[in-house]
Amino acid sequence: MTETTVQSTKTTEAVDKLLGELAFGSSLYFESGFCNSWNMLTEKSDKAGLHLITQGHIWFAMPGQLETQFKMEAGDALFLSHGFRHWLSDERVQAEQAGSDMTQVCIPEHLEQGLVCYDVDVRSSLTKTLFELMPDYIHLPASKQSDQLAQLIAIVQDEAARQQPGYSVAVSRLSDVIVLHLIRQVLTDESIASGLLNALRDDVLRKVLVAMMGDLTQEWTVDAMAATAFLSRSAFAERCHKVLGMSPKHVIDTLRLQHARHLLIHTQDTIDKIAESVGYQSATAFIRFFKQRAGCAPGEYRQLQA
């Protein structure tokens, strides 16, 4: 019982410290409603994003992955950590098709569906690391949100519905607070914070992850990681297994895959250059690695996000 309490306290302190070190800037990107039949395919962005459903329901889908699409209801939040292209629609997306621009399908009055979108700008290397380690998207239904986050989203819903003088300013000013509360839930909710996200809740492993993300071209052997953590090789490996449930080799492989995906989406770098950026001397070896881990070749993955 005592050990659990101590560990819980340490985790809370680590998350508190991490949140204090994050630096991001959020701003209102879009706020309006939709009616009748509509769909839109957003462009990829170099910013993370947050969608809040203020009224009705909206379908979310990704190009090339229509089988994983799902419906979001009023009060739901959707955080997009990598700014990739995605569908928003009033009904299930049936096929890859051209989407309309937001301004062509939106109306000021919320007749059937309502949506508030925020851009989230990364302003520190630690925040960049956090976003790259997060899943492509995190869907937080209203029923699974923390009390504080749910209350903030309810305020946004109310402001968007009433549209009283200054409502757009109120909706905009709430952005940073909402994003902070969402990130806090992501880091503290055991059902969300899995894999490498757990490393960010551990002071020692966080230091190693940030160092590796800062220079993936190094030969990150287990000895090199352990030295960065000021631990013995065996102690570091044990900590990885205990906190992350994976080996040190799996950790560096996952980091390289995540960063490669980011570069494929957000840059025009050649496959050779991306391979070098994530620590592979040979494009052939990188392509083989990427196909094994991502299920498709780097070029195919980039094409899906083009």
Q: pLDDT digit of tens for each residue in the chain (306 aa)?
A: 334 444 455 557 777 888 888 899 999 999 998 888 888 888 888 899 999 999 999 999 988 888 999 999 999 999 998 888 899 999 999 877 666 677 777 777 767 899 999 999 999 888 888 888 888 899 999 999 999 999 999 999 999 988 899 999 999 999 999 999 999 998 888 777 667 888 887 888 888 988 898 889 999 999 999 999 999 999 999 999 988 888 999 999 989 998 898 888 888 899 999 999 999 989 999 999 999 988 889 999 888 776
| pLDDT tens for each residue of 220-234 | 999 999 999 999 999
CATH 2.60.120.10 intervals, the chain: 2-188
The reported pTM is 0.81
Q: Name which CATH class applies to 195-304.
A: mainly alpha
CATH 1.10.10.60 intervals, the chain: 195-304
Measured between alpha carbons, how far is 268 from 260 in angstroms, rounded to an integer?
A: 12
In the Cβ-directed half-sphere of 19, how many Cα atoms lie within 13 Å?
18
Q: How high is the pLDDT of residue 1?
A: 38
CATH assignment of 2-188, among 3.40.50.2300, 2.60.120.10, 1.10.357.10, 3.40.50.150? 2.60.120.10
| pLDDT tens for each residue of 121-158 | 999 888 888 888 888 899 999 999 999 999 999 999 99
Tell me which residue of 36, 14, 47, 5 sits closest to 262, measured CA to CA: 47
